[in-house]
Copies of this chain bind each other. A is one copy, B any other.
Amino acid sequence: MKIYCAKHGGFCFGVTRAIKTALDAAKEGKAVYSLGPLIHNRIAVEDLRKKGIITVDTIGEIKNKKVIIRSHGIHPDILKKLKKKNFEIIDATCPRVRRAQRYVEKLIKEGYYVIIVGEKDHPEVKGLLGYAGNKADIYSDQLKLKKRRVGVVPQTTLDIEHFNQVVSNLMGNVLEMKIYNTICHETILRIKEALHIAKKADLMIVVGGKNSANTTRLYQICKKYKRAYHIESVDEISPAWFADVKSIGITAGASTPNKQVQDVVKYLRKMFPK
């Protein structure tokens, strides 16, 4: 069995940085609270909990006023609230997300009607919307353009092909469009490599949290080309998948610990020793 494992799968720069920041802060002894999971990976979050990084849903649940801002960033209103209440704030916003937030702010100041392209319930998108003073719209096929002068910012983990399609859809109805292409370079490499592997392998396995938007998207892209499975761990792998299969491709989302990917590789290598 030939196994192709993506080099550009697994933890991205922003996630690696956020975890390191959280662990460093937790080493001081006091628990660190995260509003929502620090990363969208159930197993990794459970592991972090053991190391003093606690996931909560609301500010009220934070017992020691020590809070970390996730790599996805945060809505500025929540940030203000935390500051007002004198919380100790550890900011692990990915610098690439921070840059997107600044661009959204800038476009609003310049009078553009701002459109954010991404998942409307994703924390990054909610944060971007906040930096637009909640005046932006999230792109959807049903969106009715309000103005002919439009500013466009994509979620950092968006598929660039999807983004190009959105820009094309908008083009016929705009006179001026100012785009900040904030799609992270790692996202582009990850999807490009996944597509490359999906084209040559007989079957694709995408490793990562079922609650991870970018992993789910990676899975959807792969399954356009080949039979594909989105798994969180090796327990979900079924030997029945591999009948008539001569090669397997493996990739992972930006929030998937490298260990989880390596576990899958090892498991498959054991199943197919050569």
Contact = CB atoms under 8 A, between A and B. Distances in A.
A177 interface: yes
Interface residues of A, number: 16
A164 B168 contact: yes
A225 interface: no
Contacts of A188: 172
Interface stretch (A1-9, A86-94, A178-186, A234-242): A178-186
29 contacts: A160-B171, A160-B172, A163-B171, A164-B164, A164-B167, A164-B168, A164-B171, A167-B167, A167-B168, A167-B171, A168-B168, A171-B179, A171-B181, A172-B188, A174-B179, A174-B181, A175-B180, A175-B181, A176-B178, A176-B179, A176-B180, A176-B181, A177-B177, A177-B178, A177-B179, A177-B181, A178-B178, A178-B179, A179-B179
A56 B180 CA distance: 46
Contacts of A177: 177-179, 181
Query: How many copies, total?
Result: 2
A175 B168 CA distance: 17
Contacts of A164: 164, 167-168, 171
A179 B171 CA distance: 9
Interface in A187-216: 188
A178 B110 CA distance: 13
A60 to B, nearest CB: 40
Contacts of A181: 171, 174-177
Contacts of A160: 171-172
Contacts of A172: 160, 188
A127 to B, nearest CB: 20
A163 B177 CA distance: 13
A146 to B, nearest CB: 16
A158 to B, nearest CB: 11
Nearest to A175: B181
Given A171-B179, A175-B181, A176-B180, 11 more contacts: A160-B172, A164-B164, A164-B167, A164-B168, A168-B168, A172-B188, A174-B179, A175-B180, A176-B181, A177-B177, A177-B178
Nearest to A192: B172
Contacts of A167: 164, 167-168, 171
